[in-house]
Amino acid sequence: MQRWKRSLALPVTMVAIALGFLISLQAQTQKNVSAAEQISADRLSQMKSVLSNSQAQNAKLQEEHRVLLENLDAARKKMGTDPQLLAQLKQLQMLEGTQAVEGPGIQISIDDRNKKVIFPLSTDDIARMINTLKFADAEAISLNGQRIVGSTAIVLSGSSTILVNQVPVNRAEGIPYELNAIGDQDTLLDYFSKLEAPGLKQNGLTVSITRKTLNIPSYKGAYAFKFAKPENP
């Protein structure tokens, strides 16, 4: 009888140890799953907050833009239909970006969803590309439908959402970027293909440049000056 008990002692002990290990592993796994679910919930909440704030800001800017257009129409009626004044007004609107424009230029498509991409496109990359196009005398630039003007801010919201003019231009899972620039096509193509494209491709991004006649939308935001005012002559 004693021998039988001794022969069972080791297997029973091994089973008890294995059972304890499985229970411990299950508890740790459940803990990790709970932590992952909490992180996902926090990120979702953060993205919803960013989207809500961006939508509210966009609605406010659109309303300000509508009011400015009404004021502009009123000003046109006051000054009449003097062709010279209207032409100057159009030039000023094109300069500040509140006038949609069309003309020859280049369209740059950039895709950072390739598995070979080392780092996705960043706000610094976008700012550098825009500066290169400006240096190449681009007369109008847009990124994913957002007109680039003097007050344009390009910032990162959260971990992956890029805002241009306070409007999201990408999603967390990534979408292709379309950068349009109106100007001398040869100059724009030469500058971008030599100064920007090689580095982007080396990082694994897919880049294509096409000569096109482009339509670039107007800036939908509003200019507001709190401190600056016209200098007295």
Whole-number Å distance between alpha carbons of 106 and 159: 30
* Full residue range of the structural domain in which residue 40 is found: 1-71
pTM over 0.75? The answer is: no
**Residue 5's pLDDT is what?**
46
Whole-number Å distance between alpha carbons of 192 and 112: 17
Q: Is 61 in the same domain as 107?
A: no
Q: Is 64 in the same domain as 117?
A: no
Give the total number of structural domains in the chain: 2
Amino acid at 167: V
As a whole-number percent, the residues of the chain with pLDDT over 70 amount to: 59
At 225, give phi and psi (nearest 5°): -110, 115
Q: Is 130 in the same domain as 55?
A: no
Q: Is 164 in the same domain as 57?
A: no
**Which of the pair, 233 or 158, is modelled with greater confidence?**
158
Q: Is 54 in the same domain as 152?
A: no
Q: Is residue 19 part of a domain?
A: yes
Q: Is residue 150 part of a domain?
A: yes
Q: Which one, of 116, 114, 144, 113, lies nearest residue 129 by Cα?
A: 144
Q: Is 205 in the same domain as 148?
A: yes
Sheet of 101-111: strands edge to edge?
Answer: 146-147, 140-143, 177-182, 101-111, 206-216
| Secondary structure string (H, E, C) spanning the chain | CHHHHHHHHHHHHHHHHHHHHHHHHHHHHHHHHHHHHHHHHHHHHHHHHHHHHHHHHHHHHHHHHHHHHHHHHHHHHHHCCCHHHHHHHHHHHHHHCCCCEEEEEEEEEEECCCCCCCCCCCHHHHHHHHHHHHHCCCCEEEECCEECCCCCCEEEECCCEEEECCEECCCCCCCCEEEEEECCHHHHHHHHHHHCHHHHHHCCCEEEEEEEEEEECCCCCCCCCCCCCCCCC
Q: Is 104 in the same domain as 11?
A: no
Q: Is residue 225 part of a domain?
A: no
Position 224 confidence tier, pLDDT thresholds 50, 70, 90: low
Q: Is residue 78 part of a domain?
A: no
As a whole-number percent, the residues of the chain with pLDDT over 90 amount to: 28
Q: Is 104 in the same domain as 63?
A: no
Query: Could you report the per-residue pLDDT of 175-192, keeping only the tens digit for each?
Result: 689 999 999 999 999 999
Query: Could you report the per-residue pLDDT of 120-131, keeping only the tens digit for each?
Result: 888 999 999 999
- Whichever domain contains 121, its CATH number is 3.30.70.1880
Q: Is 34 in the same domain as 110?
A: no
